[in-house]
Amino acid sequence: MHVLLTGASGDIGRFVMRKLLADGCRVTALGRRPVDDPSVAFSGFDLADPVPNLPAADALVHCALLHEPGRFRGGEGSDPETFQSVNVDGSRRLFEAARRAGCRQAVFLSSRAVYGDHRSGEILLETDEALPDSLYGEVKLAGERALQALCGGSFRGSVLRATGVYGVPPGKTGHKWSDLFETFRRGEAVPPRIGTEVHGDDLAGAVALMLRQDLKAGSPFRIFNVSDLLLDRHELLRLYSKTIGLDRALPVPVTVTVTGDGAPGVMAIDRLKSLGWSPGGPGRLQAFLRSQS
């Protein structure tokens, strides 16, 4: 299978690229510059391109996002208009170009931000009404709808609403918790926080699973939640300190009431699990922490 991949040099794209290559796919990275892997072809692409010119392929995986480096939510910085227009219109033009290039399917990396942050302690289902309360969430939801509008006939689309992604991206040494771990090692106070997480390899596995689905079965457009752990920084740093043998003060646990207040909404993943997806859970988190010792 020949797969076009945007965002291949980004953190999520690196996990996806490694998985696609391991599965024997032929991968062409779409971007401003080639990736540092001679086995990956390159085709120049920018989300701002008015008419993207894509090579013929079987599928598209869209991970790219124009944003301020290191930020997703709030990544619009001081230019929300450009953030919105390039990401929304650019994604729509990309999906249209992929269909013209012969792609039979597209996988779009969306976000749990489409649900909004107002649903504390609730279970979030793919069938729920999306009510984003950030520009990032609005942009991701618009991308989903742009893909859905093109699906039908010989072209199918899958949306993966991913939660926070942890793990060391292939080819890099740092990760999302590098600064947090360094702050903790120095003995500085760490503010409490609780959130949902999934390892990058598990997210990449979900992408690969989408590409393996029977294109003749089911709806031409599908949405799947991708999440694994509800993780309190208190527990994360307790495990980390135990793994590396470090005695430091832990942040206080986040207080969660019986009604769920204090905890984020947790995405249901039954739909994805029914297709055979099985995330690594606490075992994969422990393996990651051991790799940081």
- Residue 13: pLDDT over 90: yes
For residues 258 and 285, what is the distance between their CA atoms, to the nearest angstrom? 27
- Residue 72: pLDDT over 70: no
**Tokens (6 digits) for 93:** 């033009």
- Residue 289: pLDDT over 60: yes
Domain locations along the chain: 2-170+197-227+269-275
Q: What is the pLDDT, as a whole number, of residue 107?
A: 98
- In the CATH scheme, what is the homologous superfamily, with its name and number, of domain 2-170+197-227+269-275? NAD(P)-binding Rossmann-like Domain (3.40.50.720)
% of the chain beyond a pLDDT of 70: 94
For residues 277 and 226, what is the distance between their CA atoms, to the nearest angstrom? 10
Neighbours of 30 (CB within 10 A): 29
Q: What is the pLDDT, as a whole number, of residue 200?
A: 98
**In this predicted structure, which of 27-41, 76-90, 218-232, 255-269 has the lowest mean pLDDT?**
255-269
3-state helix, strand, coil in the chain (%, to 5): 35, 20, 45
Strand order in the sheet with 156-162: 41-44, 26-31, 2-6, 59-62, 105-111, 156-162, 221-226
Give strand ranges (E) for 140-256.
156-162, 164-166, 194-199, 221-226, 229-232
Structural contact between residues 169 and 234, judged by C-beta atoms closer than 8 angstroms: no
For residues 261 and 248, what is the distance between their CA atoms, to the nearest angstrom? 28
CA R_g for the chain: 19
Q: What is the pLDDT, as a whole number, of residue 216?
A: 73
pLDDT band at 293 (very low <50, low <70, confident <90, very high): confident
- Residue 32: pLDDT over 70: yes
User: What is the arithmetic mean of pLDDT over 187-196?
Assistant: 94
User: What is the arithmetic mean of pLDDT over 158-178?
Assistant: 96
pLDDT digits (tens, 9 = 90+) for 93-106: 999 999 999 999 99
pLDDT digits (tens, 9 = 90+) for 254-269: 987 545 567 889 999 9
| DSSP H helices in 43-177 | 80-100, 135-150
- Residue 21: pLDDT over 90: yes
